[in-house]
Amino acid sequence: MSTSTEHDRDFHIIVNTRERTVEHDVLTYKEVVALAPNLPPLKEGMEYIVTYRHAVAPKHEGDLIEGETVTVKNGTEFVVEPGNRS
């Protein structure tokens, strides 16, 4: 009998249209930014804005800010882009 949990398997997510595989279901803002391909350097006063959709409830979509986490499932999508946070 298997004792595997969702914390022990791979999850296939999309970051800026590229498929990525992660080994755990709770990702931090920094982990998502690190998975984004070809990000331009930030100009002074800017930060990376991370939006997501198709995540695990209770919040299926929204913005992910530094210090927060999101629980993913297969197919969760992220967009990471430079911007000004207001």
Please write the tens of the pLDDT for every residue from 30-52: 999 999 999 988 988 899 999 99
Residue 70 lies in a domain: yes
Listed in sequence order, the DSSP H helices in the chain are 29-35
The gap from C-alpha 55 to its chain's centroid, in whole angstroms, comes to 9
Residue 1 lies inside a defined structural domain of this protein: no
Q: Considering the domain boundaries, does residue 75 fall inside one?
A: yes
Using the Cα atoms of residue 52, residue 55, residue 59 and residue 60 in order, give the sign of their dihedral: positive
Residue 78 lies in a domain: yes
In the chain, how many domains are there?
1
Tokens (6 digits) for 76? 């969760």
- The answer as to whether 14 is a domain residue is yes
Read off the pLDDT band of 58 (50, 70, 90).
Answer: confident
Q: Is residue 59 included in any domain, yes or no?
A: yes
Q: Which residue has the higher pLDDT, 3 or 80?
A: 80
Please give the residue range of the domain that contains residue 23: 6-83
Residue 66, domain member (yes or no): yes
Task: Give a yes or no: residue 16 inside a domain.
Answer: yes
